[in-house]
Amino acid sequence: MVSVLLSGLTAFAIVRTAGPAESGAQVVYSPDGQMVRTVNLSMSDYPDFTYAAENAVEAVVYVQVTSKTQQQYYIDPFFRFFFGDEGQPRENIRRGSGSGVIIRPDGYIVTNNHVVANATEVKVTLNNNKTYDATVVGTDPATDVALIKIEEKNLPVLQFADSDKLRLGEWVLAIGSPLGEQLRSTITAGIVSAKGRSMPSDDGEFRIESFIQTDAAVNPGNSGGALVNKTGELVGINTAIVSTTGSYTGYSFAVPSNIVKKVVSDLIDFGSVKRATLGVTMSRIDEKTARDLKLDSLDGVLIHEVLPGSAAQKAGVKEGDILTAIDSTLIKTPAGLQEKVNGFHPGDKAVLKVLRDGKEHELKVTFQEGADQIGSIEEDGTVMFYGAKLAPAERGVKIVDAGDGRLAEAGGIDGFIILYVNDQKVSKPEDVIEIAKKSRRSIFIEGVTSTGRPGYFGFGKDD
């Protein structure tokens, strides 16, 4: 029994019992004469996760990955003088593991992109200990989601829940294989600590982040595993932790199920993600901005720039607008806007609500093709173009990161300097976008590699 005396006119003594609770509440008095009400709580008043855990664990798998990397060895100049540059790169075999979630009974499994990136072999072990060879159907680095498949039927699955309906403080379970095979099918519990989280990144990659933050214990190996609600439905894919040690220190992050569902549906239906774009640069509303603009709330995002020819410009969005909602979804942060826009396909329509000069306006928008298909300007001034990241160079435009989209497939590599697009000279990333938009059929790129060698490649615009 634990008694807790609370301040106030009426205090409560909370009694936890292992058996059935007695009916009613008993009123007693403390030694100083203060009235105390005793409330009996039975174990049935506490959350029971057994149904969710026992059902969900059957659809969570262990993923083993083999990848090969090339390592170039340094040759001392003394030996190079006698033997020349004959050092051959040595092939390294790397093995790793993660988790995955079966989403269709015919063998489709969702996991993280970073789990299967550069994989030469993927094996999946089910909760019944059966192991299968898996193929990578598609990946989406921007959301860190990947889809793999095994050849089997009548598999147990997890149903997608609406992650937008998750509430702060709601109980969730994390299921996966932390720290390797020995801890397969581990289940931990926690609450939803925050929503719409983004994390700092210095790798230069374009990201779409609106994580669910929980305090359910997640460790390396949990990546790609399930985050489920009390009814055993999938609300997220466990993806990352924030830690100074490399192990769980109280914070874990999951990609919301609504993002995951849209990505994997596109990968199944189209083989790539059909990502919509709005075409704006934006920032949070801080207290100074709210004072300067005489705003009553810190909700919404401040529009700094509207990309010429973008969906936002065509809808009538202007620099300085405060975007507060898309359809019935309130927008409170840039991550929240990113998450909502990512749920649309090019050509989808919506209603934007913006504040302008203290008045609310409703603007009808038709979303356009996304960064991996046409191009968009990012907040740091770089440009996403057919899956690659472009930045200004001393002359021409540099491919900072070729990514794994259509430009990379055509032969684009990191460090390549683009000098001409469709025989037209380019001097900044925006030139590349504008020329590509005007092209009716194909895009032909000419330039030089990082070592100064001439190069060229091309691809069809609508491939």
pLDDT tens by residue, 113-168: 999 988 899 999 999 999 999 999 888 888 899 999 999 999 999 999 999 899 99
Q: Which of 97, 177, 193, 223 is catalytic?
A: 223
Helices assigned H by DSSP within 87-165: 113-116
Q: Which of 97, 99, 140, 144 is catalytic?
A: 144
Residue 35 has pLDDT above 80, yes or no: no
Whether 114 is catalytic:
yes
Residue 401 has pLDDT above 70, yes or no: yes
Q: Which of 67, 114, 265, 299 is catalytic?
A: 114
Smallest CA-to-CA distance from 206 within 414, 405, 391, 389 is with 389
Pairing between β-strand 35-41 and β-strand 11-16 as defined by DSSP bridges: parallel
Residue 80 has pLDDT above 60, yes or no: no
Assess contact for 323 and 333: CB atoms under 8 A.
Answer: no
What is the number of helices (H) and of strands (E) in the chain?
A: 9, 31
What DSSP element (H or E) covers 380? none
At 83, list the tokens: 């033997």
Whether 144 is catalytic:
yes
pTM, whole model, 2 decimals? 0.64
pLDDT tens string 202-253: 444 556 778 999 999 998 899 999 999 999 999 999 998 877 777 777 889 9
Assess contact for 277 and 343: CB atoms under 8 A.
Answer: no
Residue 461 has pLDDT above 90, yes or no: no
Domains along the chain? 11-45 (no CATH), 47-273 (2.40.10.120), 276-369 (2.30.42.10), 376-460 (2.30.42.10)
Whether 45 is catalytic:
no
